[in-house]
Structure 1
Amino acid sequence: MTRLQANSLLLLIAVIWGASFTVQKLSGDHVGALTFSAARFVLGALVVLPVAWMEWRRVGGVAGRHWPGLVATGLALCGGGILQQVGIGGTSVTNAGFLTGLYVPLVPLIGLVFLKARPHPVVWPAAAACLFGTWLLSGAGAVDLAWGDLWVASSTVFWACHVILVGHMARATGMPTTVALVQFVLAGVVSAVLAAALEPVAVADIRAAWFEIAFVGILSVGLAFTLQGVAQRHANAADAAVILSTETVFSAVGGMLVLGERPGLVTLAGCVVIFAAMLAVQLAPQTKDAAR
C-alpha cells in the first residue's frame, strides 16, 4: 500500500466517523440511545468476529492477567458510546462532533495524572483553547450549553480513557482484533441490559432503525476501527493525525446537508478554535520529533 492509498483510506475513515454523527441523530426517531448502542456494538462484534477468531487461534488466546484491562476497555467504550448517543438527541450534530473532539487534549492530561507521562507543552494552551471554543459553541454569552452538549462533553472522559486503554491492551496482548471484539461484546451486553431495564424495547422500533444500526454497526464500529490500524501501518503519522481529525468537519457538513443545520458565525468560530486545538495537540509532537 502506497502512502497516497493509506491517506485515502484514512480520509474514508474520517468520512465514516463524521457521517455517523448524523446517522446517530436520525436513529433517535425510532429507538432509544441504549437500544441503539446495544445494537451497534453487537453488530460491530459480529463484523470483526471471523478475523478475531483467526487471530485467537494463531496466537493461542489471551492470558488471564490481561482480562481486567480488556474489561476496563470495554466499559470505557460503553460509557463513551452511551453518553454520546444520549447527548446527540439534545444537541446539533455540529456541536456533538466538535465537543467529542475534546478527548484529544484529555488523553495526555489523563496520562500525566495516572501514568506520570509528561505531555507535550502544547497541551496546556490547547486545553484552554478547547474551553474557549466550547464557550463560543454555547453562544459566547453566559455558559448555557444545551443538555445534550453536557452529555456529549462528559463522554469525552470515557473516550480519552478508551484511547489510552486500547493502545495499552493492543500492545500488551499482541491481539488488536481480539481486543476490539471483546470490547464490542462487553459494551453491547452492558448496553442491552441497561436498555431492557430503562427503555421500552420493541422489535418494530429496531426494524425501523435498521439502516442507522447497520451503518454505524458495520461501518463505524466494525469496519472503520479495523481499517485505521491497517492504514496507519503505511501512512505518515502527521498525515494520519490531520486526516482523522477531519471527522469533526465531516460531522458538521453532514448536519448541514442532511439535517439542514445552519450554525451561526459564533458557533462556527468555536468549531474552528476546537479543531485548531486538536490539530495542535496531535501535530506539535510530530514536528518536534521530525526536527531531531
Structure 2
Amino acid sequence: MSGWLSRYKWRLTLPEGILIFITMVWGGTFMVVHHAMTMSGPFFFVGLRFATATAALLLFSWRSLGGFTRRELTAGFWIGIAISCGYGLQTWGMQTISGSQSAFITALYVPLVPLLQWACLGKRPGLMSWCGVALAFGGLLLVAGPESGGLALSPGELATLLSTLAIAGEIILIGAWAGKVDIRRVTIVQLAVASLASFLLMIPDGEQVPAMSPWLWGSALGLGIASALIQITMNWAQRSVSPTRATLIYAGEPVWAGLFGRIAGERLPGAALLGGALIVLGVIVSELKLKKRGGARSVAREE
C-alpha cells in the first residue's frame, strides 16, 4: 500500500503552481464575462477581447514574425475560426445562463476530444475515455435539467454545449499541426482571425457596437491581455508538466468558476452541483490510461 501511495504522490513544482494560478484566473473569467453580457453583445465582446490579445502578443513577438508559410497561415486561419465559434457561442450562452453553469458545461470539451478524434481521424477511444464521456454526460443531464430529470437544454445551454465541440475541434487542429509550424506565428494568426470572425458574426446576430463604459473596456482589454500572457505562460509551464497532470489541474477550472460565482451570489440547485462534480470527474477519468502490467490491467497516470 505504501508503495502504491508513493507512486502517486504529487509534489507541487513551480510550473504546476503557476498552472493552478492560471486555472483560478480562468475560473474567475466566467463571472466577468457573464457581467459584461449586460452591457455588450457577445460577438463584439469576443472580437474586442481577441483583438487586444493579438495586439499584446505582437508586442512580445514582432521580431519573430517574418517568413510566414502557407501552412502556418492555413493552420492559424482554421484554428482561429474554431476559437471564434467556441468562445462566441460560449459567450452568447452566458446571456441567459450563469457563469457557473457555463463553466461546468464547457468542461465537457475534454472527454469530447477522443470522440472527435475517432470521428475525424479514426483513432478509437480507450475504455477510460468512454467512462469519462458517460460520467460527463450524466453530469450534463443534472446541470441542464435538474428539475425535469432530463436533457432539457435551454438556448443558452445548447449554445454552450455546441461551443464545446468547437473548443474540442480547436485542440484537435492544434495537435494536427503541432511540430510542423512556428507556434508564435500561428498564435498571432489564430487570434487575429478569431477577432475578425467574431466582429463579422455581429452582422447575422444583429449586434450593434455598444456604448463603451469603463467596465466593458476594462473587462475586454483585461481578458485580452490576460489571454496573451496566459498563452505564453502555459507554453512555458507545459514544457515540464505532463499533459495528464496539466489536464488534472485544468479540470479545476469549473470548480473555481463555481466558487467565484457562489461568492458573487449565484446559487445552483443541489442536483446541478452534483452534475458539475460528475463532469469534473469525467474530465479526470477520461485522462487516465489503462496499462498492462504482467498480464493484468491497471489504471496509471502519466507522470
Q: Give TM-score scaled by structure 1 length.
A: 0.90
Is 1:38 the counterpart of 2:47? The answer is yes
Distance 2:68 2:17 in 1: 33
More helix by share: 1
Residue type of the alignment partner of 1:269: L
Question: Are the equivalent residues in 1 in contact too, given 2:76–2:187 (CA < 8 A)?
Answer: no
Once the 2 structures are TM-superposed, how far is the Cα of residue 285 of structure 1 from its aligned partner? 6.3
Distance 2:73 2:232 in 1: 21
Q: Please give the residue correspondences for 1:26-175 in structure 2 after superposition, counting only pairs within 5 Å.
A: 26-57=35-66, 61-137=67-143, 138-139=145-146, 141-173=149-181, 175=182
Q: Which residue of 2 aligns with 1:245?
A: 251
Cα deviation code 1:217-267 (max 9, x no counterpart): 111x21222211111112244332211111111111111112x01122111
Specify whether residues 285 and 254 from structure 1 end up closer, same or farther in structure 2 by C-alpha distance, changes over 3 A only.
farther
Q: Which residue of 2 aligns with 1:233?
A: 239
1:263 to 261, 268, 272: 268
Distance 2:222 2:98 in 1: 20
Specify whether residues 169 and 52 from structure 1 end up closer, same or farther in structure 2 by C-alpha distance, changes over 3 A only.
farther
Specify whether residues 179 and 66 from structure 1 end up closer, same or farther in structure 2 by C-alpha distance, changes over 3 A only.
closer
Cα deviation code 1:198-221 (max 9, x no counterpart): 21214x3354401211231111x2
Question: Are the equivalent residues in 1 in contact too, given 2:87–2:163 (CA < 8 A)?
Answer: yes
SS at match of 1:209: helix
Is 1:209 the counterpart of 2:197? The answer is no
Once the 2 structures are TM-superposed, how far is the Cα of residue 290 of structure 1 from its aligned partner? 5.0
Distance 1:158 1:285 in 2: 28
Specify whether residues 159 and 237 from structure 1 end up closer, same or farther in structure 2 by C-alpha distance, changes over 3 A only.
closer
Residue type of the alignment partner of 2:48: A
2:34 to 25, 50, 59: 25
Q: Which residue of 2 aligns with 1:187?
A: 194
Distance 1:179 1:285 in 2: 34
- How many pairs does the alignment contain? 283
Q: Which residue of 2 aligns with 1:14?
A: 23
Specify whether residues 215 and 285 from structure 1 end up closer, same or farther in structure 2 by C-alpha distance, changes over 3 A only.
farther
Structure exhibiting the larger radius of gyration computed from Cα positions = 2
Specify whether residues 68 and 28 from structure 1 end up closer, same or farther in structure 2 by C-alpha distance, changes over 3 A only.
same
Question: Are the equivalent residues in 2 in contact too, given 1:51–1:177 (CA < 8 A)?
Answer: no
Q: Please give the residue correspondences for 1:252-291 in structure 2 after superposition, counting only pairs within 5 Å.
A: 252-258=258-264, 260-284=265-289, 288=300
Q: Give TM-score scaled by structure 2 length.
A: 0.87
Cα deviation code 1:16-61 (max 9, x no counterpart): 111111111010121110110110010011111133323334xxx2
Residue type of the alignment partner of 2:187: A
Is 1:177 the counterpart of 2:184? The answer is yes
Question: Are the equivalent residues in 2 in contact too, given 1:14–1:244 (CA < 8 A)?
Answer: yes
Specify whether residues 170 and 43 from structure 1 end up closer, same or farther in structure 2 by C-alpha distance, changes over 3 A only.
farther
Specify whether residues 199 and 3 from structure 1 end up closer, same or farther in structure 2 by C-alpha distance, changes over 3 A only.
same
